[in-house]
């Protein structure tokens, strides 16, 4: 992964986002632009019924 891309992903990491906005290092507009640019991955979603998973109590 290229360094610039890694840094951008770090800046927009959910765990850091609010802190960086409060510090003025990232704007809300930058966050919105990033989120709007993400691809729709709905077709790749899978679900698991945990109640029937091996080792789970019935």
Instruction: Kindly state whether residue 13 falls inside one of the protein's structural domains.
Output: yes
**Looking up tokens 């698991």, which residue turns up?**
48
Instruction: Kindly state whether residue 48 falls inside one of the protein's structural domains.
Output: no
Instruction: Kindly state whether residue 51 falls inside one of the protein's structural domains.
Output: no
Instruction: Look at the chain and report how many structural domains it folds into.
Output: 1
What integer pLDDT is reported at residue 22 of this predicted model? 93
Give the separation between CA 32 and CA 37, rounded to whole angstroms: 8
Instruction: Kindly state whether residue 28 falls inside one of the protein's structural domains.
Output: yes
Burial tier of 12 (Cβ tally within 10 Å: 0-12, 13-18, 19+): middle
Instruction: Kindly state whether residue 12 falls inside one of the protein's structural domains.
Output: yes
Six token digits for residue 25: 């290092």
**Looking up tokens 């951008």, which residue turns up?**
8
- What mean pLDDT do residues 12-23 have? 87
DSSP state of 40: P
In tens, the pLDDT along 31-54 reads 898 889 889 999 998 888 877 767
Instruction: Kindly state whether residue 46 falls inside one of the protein's structural domains.
Output: no
What integer pLDDT is reported at residue 13 of this predicted model? 84
Range of the domain at 21: 1-37
């Amino acid at each position: 992964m290229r360094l610039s891309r890694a840094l951008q992903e770090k800046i927009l990491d959910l765990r850091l986002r609010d802190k960086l906005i409060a510090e003025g290092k990232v704007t809300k507009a930058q966050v919105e632009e990033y989120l709007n640019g993400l691809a729709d991955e709905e077709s790749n979603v899978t679900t698991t019924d945990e109640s029937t998973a091996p080792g789970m109590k019935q």
